[in-house]
Amino acid sequence: MPALQASRADVNDALKEGARGSTGGRSALRSAFVVAEVSLALVLLIGAGLMIRSFMHLHRVKTGFESDRVLTMRVQLPGAKYREDQQRLAFFKQAQERIAALPGVKAIGSINFLPLTGLASST
């Protein structure tokens, strides 16, 4: 890395080289690499700033539903015990009834895939 090499340069050698009057192609090439490094670092810094700003804007976007005081869970029933659709349906119906009876619960629902989780299959 040119910037790292420039920071480790031997001052005595640099003065001797300058006294001879040789500016050479190596010095120009090093300067070009330093300019390229600084330019790329600036591009990365600007890109990171824009990405952070985009995430901040996304955080403020209204999704169309309130997720405060909402509990989600994933239930996977053992296949050996719940082989039939009717058994699975009965389990979830009973679970909904029991959860709805808990104090403080205002509403309950169930779905196959949560929105905005990326778990839904596209058809």
pLDDT tens by residue, 40-66: 999 999 999 999 999 999 988 887 877
CB 72 within 8 A of CB 114: yes
| pLDDT exceeds 80 at position 90 | yes
pLDDT of residue 1: 62
pLDDT of residue 43: 98
pLDDT of residue 70: 85
The type of residue at 69 is R
d(CA 49, CA 2): 25
Closest CA relative to residue 119, chosen from 70, 55, 71, 74: 74
Instruction: Look up the pTM and report it.
Output: 0.44
Higher pLDDT, 88 or 6: 88
pLDDT of residue 2: 58
Residue 46 sits at φ, ψ, to 5 deg, of -65, -45
- Please compute the mean of the pLDDT values over residues 29-43 and round it to a whole number: 95
pLDDT of residue 37: 97
Domain ranges of the chain: 2-60
pLDDT of residue 122: 56
Range of weakest confidence among 1-5, 44-48, 119-123: 119-123
